[in-house]
Amino acid sequence: MKYHTKNTPGTQETPSKVQQQHFPCGQCGADLEYSPGMRNLSCEYCGHENQITDEPVVIQEYDFATALEALAQAERHPLDSTQVIKCPNCAATFELKTDQHAGDCPFCDTPVVIGTEHVRPFQPKSLLPFIITEKDARTAFDNWIGNLWFAPSALKDKHKRDEKLLGIYVPYWTYDSHTDSIYHGQRGTVYYERRMVTQMVNGRAQRRAVNVPRIRWTPASGKVRQFFDDILVGATRALPRKILDSIQPWDLQNLVSYNEAYLSGFQSEIYQVDLDEGFNQARMLMDQAIRQSVRRDIGGDQQQIHSLNTHYSNTTFKHVLLPVWSAAFRYQNKTYRFIINGRNGRTQGERPYSKVKIALLAITIAVGLAGAAYYLETSGALEQMMYQLDSPSYNYYYR
């Protein structure tokens, strides 16, 4: 299945032959790779440049409900996941790794990009090309690891990467949706009651009046309406979702039409999170924002939400590829993965912690709190603070 017109998915027969591309130099025939930040494929041997032509088209959104209907029909004709490729340079036959559609020939290192029509019903229609070079990515990683809190002191000197940085185009879904949410809950208003309590002051029991906070609850109900634009959901299972989410934001306003030339020399994944599963994850993100809007709508000092019913309409989606640099480093015989945003250099990943530094901080805080408590008790400052808080003028002003 392949999209041909806006908002209407069409169907396509499963191809009998895997479509593949590589990019020879127009002058000397050497294999070309995309250089981050450029709009051409430059030959490292003769210097010739093959221009990348971006089609001047509007990045389209596709109707979610129509796509689900087409998927249901396509389930009767499952796609073949086999990816046997014949290298266009050395003629060797090989298979790409599972869930990849761009990589290098293992025999001659020729970069090859294949279509995904034979393995997935949806193909990427747009992407963000790499801007951050491998050199810049290494610098970003060094800066990140050098600024980690509670990291072992020896980490900066002893960490080492297990392998070279891998440039990967990661599949994502984006979702737009109009939401109408009906809620029922309660609005809480804080008020104070004057109570007499017994307190120990310098070893003696004393009775004094204090203000005790109470909450008055009243029923609340209503409706909130929101529009969500480009809710982003990673469609890979190869990289941890928590880390992927933490390298946002992405400049999606700069998406360009899908062009296999941008993939030359990089790896590119096929989506592993299906369209409907991705929308369920997007709904969880939208639900968090909706609940915040409901609490603002309820108002008051505190809010309770007893029921919330949301209707989603005019839902659309895009399938895009976003660039990341990925690798790992070893420290004390353990491997830690990290990824770098290929557009802005934002770096996140797994990291070790120094138990000694954390323990020393906890001890320091405990000693500081104990010292402060001793000072307040022996100096009479605590008693003075309590007196000021309970004074009529203070309570009148802050009620």
Q: Report the alpha-carbon angle 46-50-55, nearest 5.
A: 170
Cα separations (Å) of 260 from 108, 113, 118, 193, 366?
A: 20, 7, 16, 70, 58
Q: What is the CA radius of gyration of the chain?
A: 30
pLDDT at 365: 81
pLDDT at 380: 57
Q: Does any domain span residue 212?
A: no
Q: Does any domain span residue 131?
A: yes
> How many residues belong to the chain?
399
Both ends of the chain: CA-CA distance in Å? 65
Q: Does any domain span residue 399?
A: no
Angle, helices 381-390 vs 355-379, to 10°: value is 80
Q: Taking every pair of C-alpha atoms in the chain, what is the biggest distance, in angstroms?
A: 96
pLDDT at 141: 82
Q: Does any domain span residue 394?
A: no
pLDDT at 70: 85
Helix runs in the chain, H state only: 64-74, 134-146, 155-158, 241-246, 275-298, 355-379, 381-390, 392-398
pLDDT at 376: 60
200 half-sphere exposure, CB direction, 13 A CA radius: 2
Block residue for tokens 């127009």: 26
Antiparallel, parallel or unpaired: β 62-63 and 302-331: antiparallel
> CA-to-CA distance for 60 and 58, rounded, in angstroms?
6
Q: Does any domain span residue 262?
A: yes
Q: Does any domain span residue 135?
A: yes
Q: Report the alpha-carbon angle 244-245-246, nearest 5.
A: 90
Identity at 217, one-letter amino acid code = W
> CA-to-CA distance for 148 and 151, rounded, in angstroms?
6
Structural tokens at position 138? 């290494």
Q: Does any domain span residue 195?
A: no
Cα separations (Å) of 392 from 189, 201, 384, 395?
A: 21, 20, 14, 5
Helix runs in 41-88, H state only: 64-74
pLDDT at 5: 34
Domain total of the chain:
1
Q: Report the alpha-carbon angle 37-245-163, nearest 5.
A: 60
pLDDT at 81: 52
- Let me know if 258 is exposed, middle or buried by CB neighbors in 10 A (0-12, 13-18, 19+): middle
Structural tokens at position 304? 């309770």
133 half-sphere exposure, CB direction, 13 A CA radius: 6
Angle, helices 64-74 vs 275-298, to 10°: value is 150
pLDDT at 122: 86
- Give the mean pLDDT per block of 10 residues along the chain (399 residues): 36 42 72 81 77 78 92 64 55 54 56 62 90 91 74 57 77 97 96 84 80 93 96 90 90 92 87 93 96 96 96 96 87 80 89 65 76 66 54 44
What is the pTM for the complete model shown?
A: 0.74
pLDDT at 392: 47
Short-list 257, 262, 259, 264, CA closest to 22? 264
Contacts of the segment 37-40: beta carbons below 8 A, 24+ positions apart: 37/129, 37/130, 37/131, 37/132, 37/133
Structural tokens at position 224? 């909130």
Q: What residue numbers bound the domain in which 336 lies?
A: 3-180+223-353
> CA-to-CA distance for 174 and 154, rounded, in angstroms?
41
Q: Does any domain span residue 151?
A: yes
